[in-house]
Structures are given as structure tokens and as C-alpha cells.
């Protein structure tokens, strides 16, 4: 209803302005057209606030329509002296254009951008659908399914979420359904359940000739170890100063992990058998970076000498084609937190259509309350990461990628507007892939598990560290890089560990 009023008001505004300019010399007609225009603009502005859409897109919608209305006035003035048939034809064409802005501005609401088995995520008071909400759902034949199950419902409202499955025949009414549901009593939040896809590139090997304290042959391809001063890190571990208080579990939320890989299996804990295979290879590559078995004479090394600090597990949230849904990723965060993960590593994401995504925020908050630190890739589009989820979620540590020269990788999103962000190597990164094989990939996906691995070690030393404390350890001890204003500082593991041992890092007070 509200959407109809809005669109009708836009159309009447265009028509009224065209008539006003076309018949400017006819006093009575022009006066009527002016009054109709004023009323139509009033209705347009008022109804826009009840469309149930994010504020930023609401403003885009209004600006586009006002521009279109103004254009109709200009054309009306230009054609005022033309034959009536020509000027009417031009005004009519403009009138026909205005509905197209839904596709121009909000392509995310098209069915192809949403999970076809559940296009929307709805949060309601006390987790119960009110009669008015159910009435709206019944009108459009929308099916509501409980979205999330949590082990600790007393600390979260995640169990108040529902997935709304809109039938294909109602897909063209998506905006009307969103507006109708949003206006009902008991609705806390409504957002699209978007589909996200992976984006990484196979890359050539890069060699290094530096000596190493670990005997894994693949270290010869780990150029990032030089950037992160890993030999100093291994020397610190060898000194015996670093003690494990509790082995930290790092959950890789991805396409699965090859649990039988020769360089992973001894450092892997199975969560579910279904998660222990990786048809894509992406999750296995990330798992090796974060926690490959070091000093076993095979493959690569990670952030340990004796593998006593961390353990890897897999939470499969992506399919064999590398795609997943917002709901599935949030469910993965919940599952990882409920299984005791100290670190949740997400080398995934996509452009966000929302200025705020409440479900991600609730999930990250839940994980933090359960003791987990959430790390996410900045994204590979060369854009500002503030427009990409889940890295833009408050409480997440974002990771940008550096190239072999220590500069921002050309593909890496920038993190200047992400509250907690660091940088790590993300170009020509050599790691494990299924079938006891190894390969080199590019991507912020590869930078992220570097950070997750070090955070896991820090959490094994002090399990009580929270996200802000971990970030300050890595940030304050990080090294400045050429593009640091866009990437953040590069992580230097030995400095972070030394600072924790000496209790040197100051954590600023939490901001409101």
C-alpha cells in the first residue's frame, strides 16, 4: 500500500510539473497543476519514510525521483512552444521511466541476489510472530521458519530471528512485502538474506632463500615470513618464554577443510564429518595458513614450532561453487562460538546493500560474549571495505592484503573506515589444498588466516583476551607500510607476543 502511494505520488508529480510548464500561460490550469504538484510531493516525502528500507537507499530513492521530476519540468519548458502532440509524447516517456529506478538503485532486492529458499531475515520481539505479522505473511503466502538455534539464549536475541521464504510467484512484490512486514507491531528488524560468493585467484609460486628454524620445505615459498619477521618469532618460541595456558581452537568458516591432508590432520579437530571435505580447496588453503603442522618435514609451516598452541576445525558455510548465504554464515558463527572456538576466521564476504546488518552484529556480539575473536577478509574489489559484509560489522577485525613489495595489493579493499583493521600478506600465498597438494593463491582470503593464526596463539597464552585487547596487541606492535592509511599496519607476530609477555600494550576505553 505504502509503496503504491509513493510510486503514484512520483508519477503525479511528473505529470503535474509537465502540465504546469506546458500550460504556463493558462492561469487556471497552471495554478491547479501547482497545487497538485505540492500535494503529490508531500505524499511522496511522507510515504518514503514508511517503505521499510535502509536510510541510505531511502535517500537515494528520493534523490533519483526528485531528479526525474525536475527533468520533466525542464523538458516541459523546452517543449512548451512545440506542438502539443510532441510535448505530450516526451512527458509520457518520462512518466514511463520512473518505475525503472527500483532496478537501477536496488538490484540487491532482485531474487537473483537473495537466497531463494529464504529471502529475508526477520527479528521479532520475544521470538514470536504477532497476529498482524502472520496476517501479512499469509496474504503473500510467505513461509516463516525459525532461523537460528543457540546454546546460550540468555545472552542473545538470535533465537528471535525467522527466515522468510517468499514464493517465486511473489518475487515481483518483494518491496511491498518488505514494507508491509516492517510496519507491523513486534518487528525489530528486517533485512535481505543475501548470497555471497568467494573471489580468489591462482597465482605463481614465489621463492625466498632465507634460512629457517623450521624444516618444512614449503617455507621456501613463504615470502610473507620475511615481511612478518617470522624468524624472530620462531626464536622467541624457541626460547621457552611462551607458555600455553589453553590450546586455542581456530574455526575456519569456509568451503570445508580436507581433514586428511598430510600437513593439517595432526592439528585438526573434526566438528562434523560433513565439514571434513573440501570440494573447492579454498577452506583447506586458509586452514594451512592459519595452522598447518610445523616442523614435520612436510609442506608449509604456521605460527608454532611444536603445534601446542592452536588447533584447526572447520565449519562449512559455503557450497562447492563457493557461494553461501548470510543466514548460513551467521549460523556458522553461532556454531563455532557454541563449540568453543577462540578465533573465528572468515575469508569470505560481499558487497552489502544495507547500511546496517543487524543479524551479523548480533552474531558477532554473541561470539564475543562466548570468548571468540572474529576475523574477516576486507574483500577483493579495490573498494572501501565499509560497504562490504561481514568485515564492516562492528566487533570484527578486518584484514587487508599486501603484495610482495609490502604495498596494498591492487585487488584489496581498503580498511580506513573499519574500526579494527590490520594488514597481512595476500599475494602469491603458498598453502595446502585437498589431496596432499599445495598451491599459491591471491586474495584477502589468504591474508585473513595469517591474522587468525597469530590471534589463536595469543589466545592460547591468555584465553581471557577479548577482541579489543587482541586488536591493540597486533595494531600497536605492527609495522608501518607504504599504504598504511588504506591497509592498516602489517602484523609482526614476535612483537605482539613479546608485548603480551611484558604486558606493554594499552587498551583504550571502549567508545560508545
Q: End-to-end CA distance of the chain, in Å? A: 38
The catalytically annotated residue of 200, 221, 261, 282 is: 282
The catalytically annotated residue of 65, 165, 216, 254 is: 254
pLDDT of residue 11: 72
Q: Which of 44, 45, 22 minimizes the C-alpha distance to 33?
A: 22
Residue 114 DSSP label: B
Q: Do 82 and 33 meet the contact criterion of CB atoms below 8 Å apart?
A: no
The residue count for the chain: 512
How many CB atoms are located within 10 Å of the residue 461 CB? 17
Q: Which of 224, 347, 357, 332 minimizes the C-alpha distance to 275?
A: 332
CA-CA distance, 369 to 371, in Å (whole number)? 5
Q: Do 474 and 496 meet the contact criterion of CB atoms below 8 Å apart?
A: yes
What pairs with residue 490 in β-bridges? Answer: 423, 479
Would strands 201-202 and 437-442 be described as parallel, antiparallel, or unpaired?
antiparallel
pLDDT of residue 50: 53
Q: Residue for cell digits 608449509?
A: 300
Q: Do 20 and 33 meet the contact criterion of CB atoms below 8 Å apart?
A: yes
Close Cβ partners of 224 (under 8 Å, ≥ 6 residues apart)? 424, 425, 429, 450
Our answer to whether residue 450 is catalytic in this structure is: no
DSSP SS3 for 192: strand
Our answer to whether residue 282 is catalytic in this structure is: yes
Please provide residue 312's backbone torsions phi and psi, each rounded to the nearest 5 degrees. -100, 140
pLDDT of residue 198: 81
Using a 10 angstrom Cβ sphere, with 0-12 exposed, 13-18 middle and 19 or more buried, the burial of residue 410 is exposed
Q: Do 372 and 336 meet the contact criterion of CB atoms below 8 Å apart?
A: yes
Our answer to whether residue 154 is catalytic in this structure is: no
pLDDT of residue 504: 76
Per residue of the chain (512 residues), give pLDDT as tens: 444 576 677 777 777 766 766 666 676 777 887 788 788 778 777 766 554 444 444 565 567 667 766 766 666 666 555 555 545 555 555 555 544 444 333 322 223 388 999 999 999 999 999 999 999 999 999 999 999 999 999 999 999 999 999 999 999 999 999 999 999 999 999 999 999 878 667 888 898 877 789 999 999 999 999 999 999 999 999 999 999 999 999 999 999 999 999 999 999 999 999 999 999 999 999 999 999 999 999 999 999 998 899 999 999 999 999 999 999 999 999 999 999 999 999 999 988 877 678 999 999 999 999 999 999 999 999 999 999 999 999 999 999 999 999 999 999 999 999 999 999 999 999 999 999 999 999 999 999 999 999 999 999 999 999 999 999 999 999 999 999 999 999 999 999 999 999 987 766 765 43
Give 3-state DSSP helix, strand, coil % of the chain, rounded to 5: 45, 15, 40
How many CB atoms are located within 10 Å of the residue 169 CB? 9
DSSP SS3 for 124: strand
What pairs with residue 424 in β-bridges? Answer: 401
Q: Residue for cell digits 505473511?
A: 137
The catalytically annotated residue of 263, 445, 450, 460 is: 445
Q: Which long-range contacts (CB under 8 A, 24 or more apart) does 471-480 make?
A: 471/397, 471/420, 471/422, 472/505, 472/506, 472/507, 472/508, 473/499, 473/500, 473/505, 474/397, 474/422, 475/420, 475/422, 476/505, 476/506, 477/505, 478/422, 478/423
Q: What is the pTM of this model?
A: 0.78
CA-CA distance, 410 to 407, in Å (whole number)? 9
Distance of CA 166 to the CA centre of its chain: 23
Hey, which bits of 288-336 come out as E strands?
Answer: 310-316, 323-325
Amino acid at each position: 500500500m505504502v509503496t503504491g502511494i509513493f510510486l503514484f505520488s512520483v508519477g503525479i508529480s511528473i505529470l503535474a510539473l509537465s502540465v504546469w510548464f506546458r500550460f504556463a500561460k493558462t492561469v487556471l490550469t497552471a495554478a491547479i497543476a501547482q497545487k497538485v504538484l505540492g500535494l503529490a510531493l508531500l505524499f511522496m516525502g511522507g510515504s518514503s519514510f514508511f517503505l521499510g528500507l535502509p536510510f541510505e537507499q531511502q535517500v537515494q530513492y528520493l534523490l533519483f525521483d526528485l531528479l526525474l521530476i525536475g527533468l520533466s519540468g525542464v523538458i516541459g519548458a523546452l517543449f512548451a512552444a512545440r506542438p502539443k502532440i510532441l510535448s505530450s509524447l516526451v512527458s509520457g516517456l518520462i512518466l514511463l521511466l520512473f518505475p525503472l529506478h527500483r532496478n537501477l538503485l536496488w538490484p540487491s532486492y532482485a531474487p537473483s541476489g537473495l537466497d531463494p529458499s529464504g529471502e529475508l531475515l526477520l527479528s521479532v520481539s520475544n521470538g514470536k510472530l504477532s497476529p498482524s505479522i502472520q496476517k501479512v505473511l499469509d496474504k503473500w503466502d510467505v513461509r516463516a521458519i525459525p532461523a537460528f538455534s543457540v546454546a546460550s539464549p540468555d545472552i542473545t536475541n538470535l533465537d528471535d530471528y525467522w527466515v522468510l521464504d517468499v514464493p517465486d510467484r511473489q518475487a515481483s512484490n518483494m518491496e511491498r512485502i518488505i514494507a508491509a512486514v516492517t510496519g507491523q507491531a513486534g518487528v525489530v528488524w528486517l533485512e535481505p538474506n543475501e548470497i555471497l560468493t568467494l573471489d580468489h585467484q591462482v597465482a605463481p609460486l614465489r621463492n625466498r632463500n632465507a634460512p629457517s628454524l623450521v624444516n618444512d620445505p614449503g617455507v621456501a615459498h613463504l615470502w610473507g615470513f620475511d615481511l612478518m619477521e617470522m624468524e624472530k618469532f620462531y626464536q622467541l618460541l624457541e626460547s621457552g618464554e611462551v607458555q600455553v595456558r589453553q590450546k586455542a581452537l581456530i574455526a575456519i568458516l569456509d568451503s570445508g577443510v580436507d581433514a586428511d591432508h598430510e600437513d593439517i590432520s595432526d592439528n585438526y579437530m573434526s566438528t562434523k564429518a560433513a565439514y571434513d571435505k573440501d570440494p573447492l580447496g579454498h577452506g583447506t588453503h586458509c586452514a594451512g595458513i592459519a595452522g598447518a603442522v610445523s616442523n614435520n618435514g612436510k609442506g608449509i609451516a604456521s605460527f608454532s614450532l611444536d603445534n601446542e598452541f592452536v588447533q584447526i576445525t572447520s565449519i562449512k558455510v559455503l557450497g562447492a561453487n563457493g557461494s553461501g548465504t548470510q543466514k548460513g554464515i551467521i549460523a556458522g558463527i553461532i556454531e563455532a562460538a557454541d563449540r568453543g572456538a577462540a578465533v573465528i576466521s572468515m575469508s569470505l564476504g560481499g558487497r552489502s546493500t544495507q547500511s546496517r546488518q543487524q543479524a551479523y552484529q548480533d552474531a558477532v556480539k554473541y561470539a564475543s560474549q562466548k570468548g571468540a575473536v572474529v576475523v574477516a577478509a576486507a574483500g577483493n574489489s579495490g573498494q572501501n571495505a565499509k560497504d562490504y559484509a561481514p568485515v564492516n560489522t562492528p566487533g570484527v577485525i578486518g584484514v587487508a592484503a599486501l603484495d610482495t613489495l609490502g604495498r596494498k595489493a591492487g585487488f584489496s579493499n581498503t580498511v580506513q573506515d573499519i574500526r579494527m583493521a590490520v594488514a597481512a600478506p595476500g599475494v602469491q600465498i603458498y598453502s595446502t589444498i585437498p589431496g596432499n597438494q599445495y598451491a599459491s593463491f591471491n586474495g584477502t582470503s589468504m591474508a585473513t588466516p595469517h591474522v587468525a593464526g597469530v590471534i589463536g596463539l595469543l589466545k592460547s597464552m591468555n584465553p581471557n583476551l577479548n577482541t579489543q585487547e587482541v586488536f591493540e596487541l597486533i595494531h600497536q606492535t605492527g609495522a608501518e607500510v607504504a599504504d598504511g592509511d588504506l591497509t592498516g599496519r602489517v602484523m609482526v607476530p614476535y612483537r605482539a607476543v613479546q608485548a603480551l609477555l611484558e604486558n606493554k600494550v594499552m587498551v583504550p576505553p571502549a567508545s560508545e
